[in-house]
Chains A and B, each alone.
Chain A
Amino acid sequence: RKEVEQDPGPFNVPEGATVAFNCTYSNSASQSFFWYRQDCRKEPKLLMSVYSSGNEDGRFTAQLNRASQYISLLIRDSKLSDSATYLCVVNGWYNNNDMRFGAGTRLTVKP
């Protein structure tokens, strides 16, 4: 089983659509969770941290289910500029600095 598993996609959606990405992780001791966004040939950039209670930032909503070891990202009202690869990142695998990455989910938003 992969340490952090994501559906690779690609997800091709029209503008304005709602799209959800899922991620599962194998280490129940993990502490912190993040979604990063990576544009083609660019660096990963932090999109949002994921908190136990779930959190929202504008059109983006992240959820964490520790019991199921499952993380999700919901994007509402998709924009063309949302096209990117979304990386699920889990921190605290063995220590606070040990980050594990999913392979990423590719999203393309079309006009």
Chain B
Amino acid sequence: EAGVTQFPSHSVIEKGQTVTLRCDPISGHDNLYWYRRVMGKEIKFLLHFVKESKQDESGMPNNRFLAERTGGTYSTLKVQPAELEDSGVYFCASSQTTSGKNIQYFGAGTRLSVL
């Protein structure tokens, strides 16, 4: 069974440009999460989808970030325009809540470098 896949694995862009990250969750997982890790800091929650609906986007830093999950399958996270402080590793995770436990499985991440 395929795990969570993310594309691209690495993106280098200039300040002011737009970047779109993609995440394909594990098939059948209704929950999809985006996280970010900036250098030297802990992984931080950005937002959570249940199927195609945004359940919680309290972690989104500002309105330059837009996440979508059309059809409740894969998700995209767009940063427009990118700023230097957006550099970091963006992780996607998915889960299917069973018996009250929510075990999240992570993708390998997209390393974003804004120059």
Given A32-B101, A44-B106, A97-B48, check contact A87 B43 (CB 8 Å): yes
A90 CB, min distance to chain B CBs, angstroms: 11
* The one of A34, A95, A100 that contacts B103, using a Cβ cutoff of 8 Å: A34
Q: Are B105 and A98 in contact (CB under 8 A)?
A: no
CB contacts (< 8 Å) of A99 on chain B: these are 33, 45, 104
Q: A42 in the interface, Cβ–Cβ < 8 Å?
A: yes
Q: Are B97 and A104 in contact (CB under 8 A)?
A: no
* The one of A45, A91, A101, A103 that contacts B102, using a Cβ cutoff of 8 Å: A91
Most buried by B among A43, A101, A102: A43
- List residues of chain B with CB under 8 Å of any chain A CB: 4, 31, 33, 35, 41-45, 48, 55-56, 91, 95, 97, 100-109, 111
Tell me the complex Cα distance, A45–B108, Å.
10
Q: Are A101 and B106 in contact (CB under 8 A)?
A: no
- Lowest 10 A-B CB distances belong to which pairs? A43-B106, A103-B42, A101-B43, A43-B108, A101-B42, A44-B106, A97-B48, A96-B102, A43-B107, A97-B102
Tell me the complex Cα distance, A32–B106, Å.
17
Given A43-B4, A43-B107, check contact A96 B100 (CB 8 Å): yes
Given A49-B103, A97-B56, check contact A43 B42 (CB 8 Å): no
A52 CB, min distance to chain B CBs, angstroms: 14
CB contacts (< 8 Å) of B103 on chain A: these are 34, 46, 49
Which residues in window 1-32 of A have CB below 8 A to B?
2, 4, 32
**Chain A minimum-CB-distance residue to B45:** A99
CB contacts (< 8 Å) of A4 on chain B: these are 42
**Chain B minimum-CB-distance residue to A101:** B43
CB contacts (< 8 Å) of A104 on chain B: these are 42
Q: Are B105 and A46 in contact (CB under 8 A)?
A: yes
